[in-house]
């Protein structure tokens, strides 16, 4: 069993899903862990909020069955993943404004290539035959042909002869959902990685998983419980402002706003990249990590929650919205909140400025035009996360820092560290596992 003196334990800084995973992995290996979190609650960018007595999340999250590391991690803290998610077979229904019937429905019997091809063929019904076949062949190589070099998603789709209609109605909303980055700058390589992960390994991996319970109860709360049981110390509401060499006391000292110091023999810095850039010591040998962190770029997501006067009529659990303010509609019935709908607005940085009320009213009006039976909501909330994800642009992987730094015992963790993936829970969990294992390798 690995040991670190409990007087100077390993500090994990940040109780998002990456930090919680790193802390649990270390604690399970017998390491003394001290977890420090600036916010009052754990969960970071995937946490629960109380609004009007309803427990909502800071953002509507959707996973796919291919998120194996995340699902395993949830199971390891006792979460029953069969009950924690509504699992939908892969399929997409996209609605244009004012048209209750889907403008595009891709609902293959399975995610295997022949069924996907059949589904795409149907959704290209209005396209002349001489364009349909090349589009279909192009879609097959989008899923199966490795890229020689990275391109932006739009250029890549055009090279693979995807008609404008299919780009607008299918690929663009899918790219926004997966990467939170516009197709004109998003990395085709990362987009393809995700498509291949989800669609090339059978129906289970391709399932869309919508949480049926608040995110906080799926992982952050049981993870904190287990950490406490294993003797880890946990401080919430404490913002660290500097990580410095610890002098004769220990390798590192972490200072907060009130000049209180915590000593540590090793640190896993598990914050979002902008916070990590501020906290990483400004030593010359750490400059490459600094440059990588500064180059990341971040993008926002707003989630609009609408509360109707009574239960919303039965709607499919996930519908795409084309040419509207938001891109995805998720009735909260799935999470036991039948009066509520959630609408996700990706890359919200590009939206015109509005007050929260103007925004939810605008979303509600657009929805009513498309689905008149919804009527007008009683109230709405807008939760905007300015730094929801990193900007998953072309050649991002070349910019990413690695988990280890030249300073012994100082590691980075977070959704931005995992190569090949956009900012997701899966990337965060994988990175937490990776940095903890790297650290364990250095312990006697």
What are φ and ψ of residue 243, in 5° steps? Answer: -115, 125
Q: Which is nearer to ligand FAD, 92 or 301 (CB)?
A: 301
Separation of first and last alpha carbons in the chain? 9
Binding span for ligand FAD by CB under 6 A among 4-12, 221-229, 329-337, 418-426:
418-426
Q: How far is the CB of 137 from ligand FAD (least distance, A)?
A: 31
Q: Which is nearer to ligand FAD, 70 or 123 (CB)?
A: 70
What's the Cα-to-Cα distance from 437 to each of 1, 22, 303, rounded to whole Å?
13, 8, 35
What is the C-alpha to C-alpha distance for residues 193 and 227, in angstroms, rounded to an integer? Answer: 33
Q: Which of 170, 240, 312, 322 binds ligand FAD (CB under 6 A)?
A: 240
Which of 11, 32, 46, 250 is close enough to bind ligand FAD by CB under 6 A? 46
CA dist 444 and 439 (Å) reads: 11
Residue that the structure tokens 């396209």 belong to: 127
Count CA within 13 A, CB hemisphere, residue 293: 24
For ligand FAD (CB under 6 A), the number of binding residues is: 38
Nearest distance from C-beta of residue 58 to ligand FAD, angstroms: 6
By the rule CB under 6 A, 296 interacts with ligand FAD: no
45 binding ligand FAD? (CB under 6 A): yes
Q: What's phi and psi for 72, nearest 5 deg?
A: -60, -40
Segment interacting with ligand FAD (CB under 6 A) among 137-145, 332-340, 404-412, 420-428: 420-428
Nearer to ligand FAD (CB atom), residue 10 or residue 46: 46
| By CB under 6 A, residue 16 contacts ligand FAD | yes
Binding mask 256-275 for ligand FAD (x = CB under 6 A): --------------xxx--x
11 binds ligand FAD (CB under 6 A): no
- According to DSSP H, which parts of 149-219 are helical? 153-159, 164-166, 172-179, 188-199, 203-206, 215-218
What radius of gyration, in Å, describes the C-alpha atoms of the chain? 23
Any contact of residue 15 with ligand FAD (CB under 6 A)? yes
Considering only 10, 11, 12, 19, the residue that binds ligand FAD (CB under 6 A) is 19
Tokens 């035009």 belong to residue: 369
Angle at 327 between CA 323 and CA 333, to 5 degrees: 135
Quick one: which of 4, 13, 179, 292 contacts ligand FAD (CB under 6 A)? 13
CB of 440 to ligand FAD, least distance (A): 19
Q: Between β-strands 252-256 and 240-245, what pairing exists: parallel, antiparallel or unpaired?
A: antiparallel
The answer to whether residue 218 forms part of the interface with ligand FAD (CB under 6 A) is no
Q: Which of 8, 11, 12, 61 binds ligand FAD (CB under 6 A)?
A: 61
Q: What are phi and psi of 63, to 5 degrees?
A: -115, 175
Q: Residue 242 Cβ, how far from ligand FAD at the closest point, in Å?
A: 9
Number of C-beta neighbours around residue 204 at 10 A: 12
Segment holding 116, helix H or strand E: helix 113-123
* DSSP reduced 3-state for 36: strand
Question: Cα separations (Å) of 162 from 222, 279, 349?
Answer: 45, 44, 27
| Binding-residue pattern over the window 352 to 391 for ligand FAD, x denoting contact by CB under 6 A | ---------------------------------x--xx--
- Catalog residues that contact ligand FAD under the rule CB under 6 A: 13-19, 36-39, 44-46, 58-59, 61-63, 239-240, 270-272, 275, 279, 301, 303, 385, 388-389, 414-415, 423-426, 428
């Amino acid at each position: 069993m690995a040991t670190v003196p409990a007087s100077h334990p390993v500090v994990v800084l940040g109780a998002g899903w990456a930090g919680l995973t790193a802390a649990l992995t270390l604690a399970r290996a017998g390491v003394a862990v001290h977890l420090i979190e600036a916010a009052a609650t754990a969960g970071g960018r995937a946490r629960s909020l109380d609004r009007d007595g309803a427990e909502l999340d800071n953002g509507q999250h959707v996973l796919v069955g291919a998120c194996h590391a995340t699902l395993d991690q949830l199971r390891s803290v006792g979460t029953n993943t069969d009950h924690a998610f509504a699992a939908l077979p892969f399929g997409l229904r996209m609605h244009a404004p004012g048209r209750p019937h889907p403008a595009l429905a891709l609902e293959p019997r399975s995610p295997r290539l022949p069924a996907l091809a059949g589904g795409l063929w149907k959704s290209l019904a209005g396209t002349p035959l001489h364009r349909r076949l090349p589009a279909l062949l192009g879609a097959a190589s989008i899923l199966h042909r490795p890229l020689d070099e990275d391109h932006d998603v739009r250029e890549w789709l055009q090279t693979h002869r995807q008609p404008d209609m299919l780009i607008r109605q299918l690929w663009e909303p899918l790219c926004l959902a997966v990467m939170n980055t516009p197709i004109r700058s998003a990395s085709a390589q990362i987009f393809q990685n995700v498509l291949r992960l989800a669609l090339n390994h059978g129906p289970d991996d391709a399932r869309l998983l919508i949480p049926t319970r608040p995110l906080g109860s799926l992982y952050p709360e049981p993870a904190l419980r287990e950490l406490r049981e294993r003797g880890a110390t946990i401080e919430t509401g404490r913002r660290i402002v500097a990580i410095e060499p610890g002098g004769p006391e220990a390798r590192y000292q972490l200072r907060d706003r009130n000049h209180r110091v915590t000593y540590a023999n090793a640190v896993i810095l598990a914050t979002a990249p902008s916070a990590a850039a501020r906290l990483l010591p400004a030593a010359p040998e750490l400059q490459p990590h600094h440059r990588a962190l500064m180059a990341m770029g971040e993008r926002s997501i707003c989630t609009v929650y609408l509360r109707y006067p009574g239960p919303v009529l039965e709607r499919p659990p996930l519908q795409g919205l084309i040419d509207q303010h938001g891109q995805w509609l998720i009735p909260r019935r799935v999470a036991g909140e039948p009066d509520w709908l959630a609408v996700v607005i990706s890359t919200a940085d590009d939206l015109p400025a509005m007050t929260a009320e103007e925004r939810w009213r605008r979303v509600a009006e657009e929805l009513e035009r498309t689905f008149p039976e919804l009527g007008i909501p009683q109230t709405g909330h807008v939760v905007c996360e300015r730094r929801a994800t990193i900007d998953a642009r072309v050649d991002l992987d070349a910019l990413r820092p690695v988990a280890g730094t030249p300073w012994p015992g100082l590691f980075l963790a977070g959704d931005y560290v995992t190569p090949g993936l956009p900012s997701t829970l899966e990337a965060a969990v994988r990175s937490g596992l990776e940095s903890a294992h790297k650290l364990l390798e250095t312990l006697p």
